[in-house]
């Protein structure tokens, strides 16, 4: 068989598996490109920050001056008081808190604006220090009063290595649930028709979700052992942390299996799920604050349940917060799990009316 005949044979193979090659060579690279397209600058420009009055004497004019002054690098969000703003910062709704004193409009006054940071948010520490250095001269020039900045940090200080551990654990759970679990189910595709005559396919899938979900405790245990070894002072085996991981596993695995059954257990489904995993991990805010690079990235991230999983996971691990403190994020996870299970049920019923796709 000559070279042209061999090439023709390969072309026929591609035509027979066109869907797989489209996913592998088009969809997955597109997901990677989408994940990088939102990184639009290297300094904060759309960072959500809180602006709150320091006391009752602070006027709307004082607050408006600070909002305008921080606009070159941030999107200011108003809060009624410092306590509410700090709570929002610890939930990663905002990333800095500006506490506004009175008399900023008084040319004879001296005032200090307090900037509150979260010690647990390690990736923001250096950019925040640089930005605050620029802000102090900007404030003093822009305001009638003589203004200085005072930085105050709250929470437990974390290094970048400590900050990254929950992110790495979450990335592993997403790949495990969204790629590995559907791959394992696909490996058993030849017995699916037999199983349908013995029991409901929904029961088989539910058993797999339960079994592989319980195994997700293993990487959490490994992460905890690593944290103890390095002296991080936290672990991943707390009940609330495991609840976050469990819900995250459930909605990602259910979504991955829904894709698998919708594509009738074809190999292309594995690559579709790989593309989804790469895309959501790139867009969910694994490392930097979601508003650090662009407003677009902020919007996309907050529309993804994976971002809310990360917020809750970092909250329970790094900050020692309770899941009730992250109730909004927990609601996202429960809703995502419910929606993914409904999609999975629909995909299984559709598959059940047909058979194995190959």
Q: Render pLDDT for 97-138 as a digit per residue (tens, 0 to 9).
A: 999 999 988 888 888 999 999 999 988 877 777 777 778 777
The phi and psi torsions of 324 (rounded to 5 degrees) equal -65, -30
Report which of residues 19 and 339 the model is more confident about.
Answer: 339
Q: Render pLDDT for 310-343 as a digit per residue (tens, 0 to 9).
A: 999 999 999 999 999 999 999 999 999 999 999 9
The phi and psi torsions of 55 (rounded to 5 degrees) equal -160, 175
The span from the CA of 214 to the CA of 198, in Å, is: 25
The set of residues, in sequence order, having a beta carbon less than 8 Å from that of 177 and lying 6+ positions away, is 212, 216, 248, 249, 252, 253, 256
The span from the CA of 299 to the CA of 340, in Å, is: 21
Which DSSP string corresponds to 174-190? Answer: HHIIIIIHHHHHHHTGG
Report which of residues 271 and 195 the model is more confident about.
Answer: 271
pLDDT computed for residue 127 by the predictor: 74
The phi and psi torsions of 101 (rounded to 5 degrees) equal -85, 170
Domain ranges (residues) in the chain: 47-154, 160-352
Identify the band that residue 39 occupies on the pLDDT scale cut at 50, 70 and 90. Answer: very low
Share of the chain above pLDDT 70, in %: 84
The span from the CA of 160 to the CA of 184, in Å, is: 34
- Show the tokens assigned to 352: 């059940």
Strand (E) or helix (H) holding 221? helix 217-229
Identify the band that residue 358 occupies on the pLDDT scale cut at 50, 70 and 90. Answer: very low
Angle, nearest 10°, between helix axes 239-262 and 217-229? 140
The phi and psi torsions of 148 (rounded to 5 degrees) equal -125, 160
**Cα dist. 105→56, 117, 135, 194, 313 in Å?**
15, 25, 17, 78, 42
Share of the chain above pLDDT 90, in %: 55
pLDDT computed for residue 38 by the predictor: 47
User: Mean pLDDT of all residues in the chain?
Assistant: 85
Identify the CA nearest to 275 among candidates 256, 295, 298: 256
The span from the CA of 244 to the CA of 337, in Å, is: 11
The span from the CA of 258 to the CA of 264, in Å, is: 10
How far from chain centre, in Å, is Cα 56?
Answer: 37
Q: What is the DSSP letter of 24?
A: I
**32-46, 279-293, 313-327: the lowest-pLDDT one:** 32-46
Specify whether the CB–CB gap between 27 and 272 falls below 8 A. yes
Specify whether the CB–CB gap between 248 and 333 falls below 8 A. yes
193 pLDDT more than 70: no
pTM of the model: 0.84
**87-91, 281-285, 343-347: the lowest-pLDDT one:** 281-285
pLDDT computed for residue 294 by the predictor: 72
In CATH terms, the fold of domain 47-154 is abc type-2 transporter like fold (3.40.1710)
The count of C-alpha atoms lying within 13 angstroms of the C-alpha of 126, restricted to the half-sphere facing its C-beta, is 6
The span from the CA of 124 to the CA of 121, in Å, is: 6
């Amino acid at each position: 068989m000559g070279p042209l005949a061999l090439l023709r044979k390969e072309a026929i193979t591609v035509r027979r598996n066109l869907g797989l090659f489209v996913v592998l060579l088009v969809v997955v690279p597109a997901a990677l490109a989408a994940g990088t397209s939102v990184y639009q600058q290297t300094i904060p420009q759309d960072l959500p920050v809180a602006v709150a009055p320091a006391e009752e004497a602070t006027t709307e004019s004082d607050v408006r001056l600070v909002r305008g002054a921080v606009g070159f690098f941030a999107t200011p969000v108003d809060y009624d008081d410092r306590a509410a703003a700090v709570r929002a910062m610890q939930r990663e709704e905002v990333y800095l808190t500006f506490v506004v004193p009175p008399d900023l409009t008084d040319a004879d006054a001296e005032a200090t604006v307090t900037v509150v940071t979260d010690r647990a948010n390690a990736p923001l520490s250096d950019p925040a220090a640089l930005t605050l250095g620029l802000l102090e001269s900007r404030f003093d020039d822009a305001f009638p009063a003589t203004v200085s900045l005072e930085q105050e940090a709250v929470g437990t200080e974390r290094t970048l290595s400590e900050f990254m551990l929950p992110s790495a654990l979450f990335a592993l759970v997403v790949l495990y649930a969204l790629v590995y679990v559907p791959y394992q189910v696909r490996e058993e595709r030849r017995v699916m028709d037999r199983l349908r005559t013995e029991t409901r396919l929904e029961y088989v899938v539910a058993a797999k979700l339960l079994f592989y979900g319980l195994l997700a405790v293993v990487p959490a245990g490994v992460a905890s052992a690593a944290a103890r070894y390095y002296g991080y002072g936290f672990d991943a085996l707390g009940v609330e942390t495991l609840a976050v991981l469990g819900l995250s596993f459930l909605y990602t695995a259910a979504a991955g299996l829904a894709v698998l059954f919708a594509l009738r257990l074809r190999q292309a489904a594995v690559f579709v799920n790989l593309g989804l995993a790469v895309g959501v991990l790139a867009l969910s805010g694994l490392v930097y604050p979601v508003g650090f690079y662009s407003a677009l990235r902020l919007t996309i991230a907050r529309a993804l349940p994976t971002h809310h999983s990360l917020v809750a996971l970092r909250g329970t691990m790094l900050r020692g917060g309770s899941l009730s403190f992250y109730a909004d994020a927990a609601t996202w996870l429960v809703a995502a799990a419910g929606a993914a299970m409904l999609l999975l049920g629909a995909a299984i019923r559709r598959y059940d009316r047909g058979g194995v796709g190959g």
